[in-house]
Amino acid sequence: MSDKLFAGLAAQLQERDAAGLTRRRRLLETAQGVHIKCDGQTVLSFCSNDYLGLANDPELINAWQQSANIAGVGSGASHLITGHHHYHELLEKALADFIGLPAALLFSTGYMANLGIMTALLGRGDAVFADRLNHASLNDAAVLSRAELYRYPHNDLSALEAMLKTSNAPRKLVVADAVFSMDGDLTPVPALLALCEKYDALLLLDDAHGFGVLGKEGRGTLSHFNLTSPRIIYMATLGKAAGVFGAFVAADQIVIDYLLQNARTYIYTTASPPAISATLIKALEIIKRDESRRVHLQGLISLLKSGLQLKRWKLEESVTAIQPLIVGSNEEALALSEYLLTKNILVPAIRPPTVPKDTARLRISLSAAHSEHDVAQLIQSLNDAESEMAA
């Protein structure tokens, strides 16, 4: 490679660094959880997506070990060759049943699911209508699909309607995070669905943060709103509340049949290890039967809301495990995160471009694995931080 090419890359890295935007990885030395050892420091963590505390659950570890004894560690092939195992099949059926839609299809990751769904369903001349705060994978998927991309202001359904009204694309898809990943708020699904019906569009909902947490028995955002429709293409990830890894899409049988034939991130990739699916079947059982995890989580959310006495920073309105504390400037958000770390509390500062300019925040994520004492400790430290950092 030429020196010039390397110099160009180095200059761009330097530019990023000068803007304070260099990202670095923390080194985790324990299993994921609430009390972890990270970069050599033992901390109380509020930064995983393991909302139900299942990532290190003994019952799931046992399921993983037992199923690996039976099915091995690797799937050895893609689903359409010989990689589609009995465990994958069982999990797909269990997921479709759990969500209340006719059929489901597994993907290796949520990122791949979104790319696969949108590139299969859309092409040149079609149109995608996307909330501005959608997850990056949905935006990437829209671009890769070659459809026209229209982004509407966050949860602004009149802006969306204006866009839908003027579109004469043959296939229209409205896409939104069901629970927004950096804000924790919900998309108004019933109103969104009504617009899709009015303008004959499909609705893709990404429930990465609602699955397992919201709705009856943790069945997710559709259950939370108590609705279903053949227009809905429901997608959720299995590496967050479900505690393991992977993703799926649930929809009408014809949509699933179509994706099986056309979703390139499904077809041209190795099937995930069958033991992961076996473990997820067990995770689904726990999600369904153990209401106490969701009750406890809701209790922690109320505790956090009632305990914080902040003037300078504001907790966003959110009924989910994602509780963002809006700080404003990048520097102050970083300083607050660093202050908490001196108290052995880990909460990441999220800055642009992940969130809009001037809305840098701490993304507090609560888990059923937290105790009330853990949350009380966070409250105390945040309340202290505001008075001490202002001084």
Ligand X SMILES: *Cc1c(COP(=O)(O)O)cnc(C)c1O
Q: Which residues bind ligand X (CB under 6 A)?
A: 109-111, 135, 137, 177, 181, 206, 208-209, 237, 239, 247
Task: Closer to ligand X by CB, 272 or 337: give it.
Answer: 272
Tokens representing 121 are 């369903």
| Least distance to ligand X, CB of residue 160, Å | 18
| Least distance to ligand X, CB of residue 139, Å | 11
Task: Closer to ligand X by CB, 139 or 167: give it.
Answer: 139
Tokens representing 66 are 């037992």
Q: DSSP string of 148-163?
A: EEEEEPTT-HHHHHHH
Closest CA to 134 of 162, 176, 93: 176
Q: Which residue is nearest to ligand X (CB)?
A: 110
187 close to 176: Cβ distance less than 8 angstroms: yes
Task: Closer to ligand X by CB, 211 or 313: give it.
Answer: 211
Point out which residues pair with 42 in neighbouring strands: 37
- Strand duo 41-45 + 345-346: pairing: parallel
3-state secondary structure 179-209: ECCCCCCECCHHHHHHHHHHCCCEEEEECCC
Closest CA to 330 of 305, 306, 362: 362
Closest CA to 333 of 316, 321, 351: 351
Task: Closer to ligand X by CB, 192 or 382: give it.
Answer: 192
Task: Closer to ligand X by CB, 243 or 374: give it.
Answer: 243
What is the Cα–Cα distance from 250 to 247, expressed in whole angstroms? 10
Tokens representing 173 are 């898809």
| Least distance to ligand X, CB of residue 85, Å | 20
| Least distance to ligand X, CB of residue 207, Å | 8
| Least distance to ligand X, CB of residue 240, Å | 6
Strands of 199-290, DSSP E: 202-206, 232-237, 247-251
Task: Closer to ligand X by CB, 234 or 313: give it.
Answer: 234
142 close to 114: Cβ distance less than 8 angstroms: no
| Least distance to ligand X, CB of residue 98, Å | 17
| Least distance to ligand X, CB of residue 244, Å | 10
Task: Closer to ligand X by CB, 101 or 208: give it.
Answer: 208
| Least distance to ligand X, CB of residue 358, Å | 23
Task: Closer to ligand X by CB, 63 or 138: give it.
Answer: 138
3-state secondary structure 71-111: HCCCCCCEHHHHHCCHHHHHHHHHHHHHHCCCEEEEECCHH
